[in-house]
Amino acid sequence: MTEQKTNSTKTKHFTRRDTLKTLGAAAGLAAGSHLMPLSGRYAQAQSSEPIRIGFQAHRTGIGASYGRWYERTTMAAAQLINDAGGINGRPIEIVTEDDGTDPKRGAEVVEKFAIQHKTDIVFGTLFSHVVIGSAPRAGELKIPYFVVSEGHHVASGKLNRYVLQPGITDVKSQVQSMAPWVGSNLGKKVTMIYPDFAFGHDHRDYFSAAIAAQGGEVIEKIAIPPTEQSFFKYFPRIPKETEVLYHVMVGPGVLTFVKELGEFFGSDRPQIFGFIDSLEAVDLANPGLEALEGTYFWEGFPRYAQNDGANPHDAFYREKVGVDANGASLSDPKDISTYAHMFGCWETLYIIKQGMEAADYKGPADRAKLIEAVESFTDFPEGPEHPQGAKIFNGQTHQVFGIQNISQVTDGKLKVVHRTSIEDSLYEPEVDYTKMAF
């Protein structure tokens, strides 16, 4: 049972005897626990074993296409860390549990990591509602929770001191850094199409503010209800004076969405700018997507290898994760990665390593020290550990900031036409987590 559940990346054998030992210990704990005070059951012993990292994965549910690649990226980074000697001389072990992309199960999985698997930390969640549903439990169980979610929830101050997002930028900074380029290159009258989800509302609110600062205006906002299978009937709402159509969609309907967009406009279209979320894990060569030629996308990390020297560590990262120059799996060119986002798992894992080394992390008793160590970081230089590019970290808001890319679809591939500076994406802190108690 345990062998299959834990995707152990260390080379050391994880044998049935270990399992039996664990089970024996659990049984002993169960037998002896009635003698202990209640809180004793929730305390954790220090360990000289591998550092255990609980990976909260979207293996099923709507996040599964992302989850699969988050898992591959995580395993690749963990392998590299272990090959280089692990953390503080200890190997790391990734313990994966599926959260079903559901907040309720997410909270249960955090409990399982903290209490049953006794992992040192929890890591790797993408979908915002799972993060927000799990965060209170992580705080109560006092287990550091490193999310890779791009939501603004961490920096907004709504969560707690145990939740950090040091490996991926948040939607507020992404959107805000796009607006100047969109305003000066594509047009000032923008129509937005986004899902009627909190994620879509973040885009709506932050982009509206940012484009207004550029002297532009969002002239129409079209929120698409969830579970919508067909989008065509919403397109007539796009006002005729629209200069830029801004779209961001998530979920399985994205392919239909962009296909229908092309069908509706034909060759007669406004400028189109979208977030690559609309096309993550989708092959640009799919029939019907030809209409995207010439349109623009935000990308966290460019899916297609650019070979322009801007990301010198991209090739190394690509090879280790198993992705080809077109952003597809090396073993199946039709299996497209979620390239723009998944680097966050890689970079977060290296920040965890850096944090544990800085804190001289020994075990769960040092969890607060680990968080303080990460809070003290200010910047991460570009390198194999941060292949997407250099980052600035704000310890008060627990949020990282970085470079963003704007790419144009050219000959069926995404070609980067603009890179923002990190400064474009900074905003005033809304919270100071370092003042909160552990």
Partner 1 sequence: MKLRNSIRQGHFDSMDFGPYLLLATLEGAVQAAVLALTALGLSLVFGVMRVVNVAHGEFFMLGAVLAWWISSLLTGTPLFGFLAALIFAPLIVGGLAAVADRLILKRLKYDPEATIVATIGLLYIIQQGALTLYGPDARPVAAPFDFRVSFPWFGYSGYKISVILTCMVMLLGVWALLTRTRIGLIMRATQYDRETAQAFGIPVARVYTGVFAFGAMLAAVAAVLIVPTQQAYYLMGLDPLLLSFIVVIIGGLGSLKGTVLAAVVIGLSDGIITIFFDPTLAKILSTILVAMILVFRPTGLFGTATR
Partner 2 sequence: MSGIFNKALMVHLGLIVVLLALHFILPAYHHVSLARIMVLAVYALGFNLLFGYTGLLSLGHALFFAAGLYGAGLSMQFFQWTAGPGFVFGLFCAIAVATLIGMLALRTVGVSFMIVTMMFAQVGYLLILYYNEYTRGDEGFVILRELRVLGPLDLSAEDIRYLVALALLAAAILIKLALVRSPTGRILIAIRENEERTRMLGYDPFRYKLMAMVISGAFAGAAGAAYGILFGYVGASFASIQYSILPLLYVLMGGAGVVLGPLLGTIAMFYLIDIASGMTSAYLFFVGLALVFLILVAPKGLLGTVRERWAPWLP
HEC profile for the chain? CHHHHEECCCCCCCCHHHHHHHHHHHHHHHHHHHHCCHHHHHCCCCCCCCEEEEEEECCCCCCHHHHHHHHHHHHHHHHHHHHCCCECCECEEEEEEECCCCHHHHHHHHHHHHHHHCCCEEECCCCHHHHHHHHHHHHHCCCCEECCCCCCCCCCCCCCCCEEECCCCCHHHHHHHHHHHHHHHCCCEEEEEEECCHHHHHHHHHHHHHHHHCCCEEEEEEEECCCCCCCHHHHHHCCCCCCEEEECCCCCCHHHHHHHHHHHHCCCCCEEEEEHHHCCCCCCCCCCHHHHCCCEEEECCCCCCCCCCCCCCHHHHHHHHCECCCCEECCCCCCECCHHHHHHHHHHHHHHHHHHHHCCCCCHHHHHHHHHHHHCCCEECCECCECCCCEEEECCCCEEEECCEEEEEECCEEEEEEECCHHHHCCCCCCCHHHCCC
By CB under 8 A, the count of residues binding partner 1 is 48
Q: How far apart are CA 259 and CA 257, in angstroms?
A: 5
Buried-state track 27-61, b at ≥16 Cβ within 10 A, e below 16: eeeeeeeeeeeeeeeeebeeeeebbbbbbbbbbee
Selected binder of partner 1 within 108, 264, 368, 416 (CB under 8 A): 264
Q: How far apart are CA 354 and CA 356, in angstroms?
A: 6
Can residue 157 be called a binding residue for partner 1 (CB under 8 A)? no
Can residue 107 be called a binding residue for partner 2 (CB under 8 A)? yes
Which residue lies nearer to partner 2 by CB, 104 or 415?
A: 104
Can residue 364 be called a binding residue for partner 2 (CB under 8 A)? no
Q: How far apart are CA 288 and CA 393, in angstroms?
A: 41
Q: How far apart are CA 365 and CA 112, in angstroms?
A: 18
Selected binder of partner 1 within 2, 44, 214, 286 (CB under 8 A): 286
Selected binder of partner 1 within 37, 89, 215, 236 (CB under 8 A): 236
- Write down the least CB distance from residue 102 to partner 1, Å: 12
Q: Which does 137 bind (CB under 5 to 8 A by kind): partner 1, partner 2, none?
A: partner 2
- Write down the least CB distance from residue 160 to partner 2, Å: 8
Selected binder of partner 2 within 132, 171, 238, 272 (CB under 8 A): 132
Can residue 309 be called a binding residue for partner 1 (CB under 8 A)? no
Can residue 333 be called a binding residue for partner 1 (CB under 8 A)? no
CB atoms within 10 A of CB 100: 21
Looking at residues 10 to 49 of the shown chain, list those that interact with partner 2 (rule: CB under 8 A): 26, 29-30, 33-34, 38-39, 41-42
Can residue 287 be called a binding residue for partner 1 (CB under 8 A)? yes
- Write down the least CB distance from residue 283 to partner 1, Å: 9
Which residue lies nearer to partner 1 by CB, 64 or 426?
A: 64
Among the listed ranges 177-185, 192-200, 295-303, 365-373, the one in contact with partner 2 (CB under 8 A) is 192-200
Residue 219-258 contact track with partner 2, rule CB under 8 A, x = bound:
------xx--------------------------------
Q: Which does 316 bind (CB under 5 to 8 A by kind): partner 1, partner 2, none?
A: none
Selected binder of partner 2 within 104, 184, 241, 421 (CB under 8 A): 104
Which residue lies nearer to partner 2 by CB, 78 or 132?
A: 132
- Write down the least CB distance from residue 71 to partner 2, Å: 10
Cβ–Cβ < 8 Å for 123, 56: yes
Q: Please enumerate in sequence order all residues whose Cβ is within 8 A of that of 234, keeping only pairs 6 or more positions apart, or say none.
A: 193, 222, 224
Selected binder of partner 2 within 102, 260, 280, 299 (CB under 8 A): 102
Can residue 282 be called a binding residue for partner 1 (CB under 8 A)? yes
Q: Which does 302 bind (CB under 5 to 8 A by kind): partner 1, partner 2, none?
A: none
Q: Which does 14 bind (CB under 5 to 8 A by kind): partner 2, partner 1, none?
A: none
Selected binder of partner 2 within 14, 18, 47, 198 (CB under 8 A): 198
Looking at residues 31 to 60 of the shown chain, list those that interact with partner 1 (rule: CB under 8 A): 60
- The residues of the shown chain that bind partner 2, judged by CB under 8 A, are 1-2, 4-5, 26, 29-30, 33-34, 38-39, 41-42, 59-60, 97-98, 102-105, 107-108, 111-112, 115-116, 128-129, 132-133, 135-137, 139-140, 151, 153, 158-160, 196-199, 201, 225-226
Interface with partner 1 (CB under 8 A): 60-62, 64-65, 67-68, 187, 196, 222-225, 227-230, 232-237, 239-241, 243, 252-256, 259, 263-266, 268-271, 281-282, 286-288, 335-336
